[in-house]
Amino acid sequence: MRVKICGITKLEQGDAIAQMGATALGFICVPSSPRYLSAAGISAIIQRLSHQVDCIGVFANTTVAEICQTVSATKLTGVQLHGNESPEFCQELRQCLPGIEIIKALRVKTNECLTNSEIYADSVDLLLLDAYDPTQLGGTGKTLDWLRLQEYKPCLPWLLAGGLTPDNIMNALSLVKPNGIDLSSGVERSPGDKDLDKVAQLFTKLQQTEQLLLNTSSSL
């Protein structure tokens, strides 16, 4: 399972999180966000990471040119689109950034949002389902309706986001089976300041969940 910890702002925290087992680190490229990091700041962290890990830039409602410029300056391995980007926009970005993973975040407000995810089937590599908030694009701490997601039939691999914490991750994964998870506020002391104890607790809970699933399957 992919584990993405988003909103990294400090090298020592990003490096420690990668060492704990995260498969991806997320960097917020939205200037209005309290977790925002400049291209120079992102590049400084990526260049000094001691562990190989996917590095994802999170953008919202900006231009293809701006995204491409940031990717070039930072050596990001992926781009997450967290705004109102259309499939056509995603396709144009994919053509401009061959070899870069494209993730489309969907802020799920209604069941229609889940049904409409199919329109991105040919233009992105991965979907991310996040909780809807009228004023914030992400990092809200709000959870999705996991029971509703049990009937979600994805057209692409997908990540579960939205209010996940070490305390609720086992419950979430007992109800839904995403290809990965994405956490930000659930492992923070404050926006952009990760709590490494909480991150360690998360990986402990993930190991327990994996063992529980193995025990369950072996008893069937």
For residue 126 the two structure tokens come to 């991965």
Task: Please give the average per-residue pLDDT across 187-210, as a whole number.
Answer: 96
Superfamily per CATH, domain 2-218: Aldolase class I (3.20.20.70)
**Residue 194: predicted pLDDT:** 98
pLDDT tens-digit readout, 132-144: 664 555 555 678 8
Start-to-end C-alpha separation, the chain:
22
Average pLDDT, the chain: 92
Q: Residue 61 contacts by C-beta under 8 Å, 6 or more apart in sequence?
A: 83, 84, 85
Distance from chain centroid for Cα 140: 13
The answer to whether the predicted template modeling score (pTM) of the entire model surpasses 0.85 is yes
Active-site annotation holder among 113, 130, 193, 197: 130
Active-site annotation holder among 6, 29, 55, 90: 6
3-class SS string, the chain = CEEEEECCCCHHHHHHHHHHCCCEEEEECCCCCCCECCHHHHHHHHHHCCCCCEEEEEECCCCHHHHHHHHHHHCCCEEEECCCCCHHHHHHHHHHCCCCEEEEEEEECCHHHHHHHHHHCCCCCEEEEEECCCCCCCCCCCCCCHHHHCCCCCCCCEEECCCCCCCCHHHHHHHCCCCEEEECHHHEEECCEECHHHHHHHHHHHHHHHHHHHHHHHCC
**Residue 220: predicted pLDDT:** 57
Active site residue 130: yes
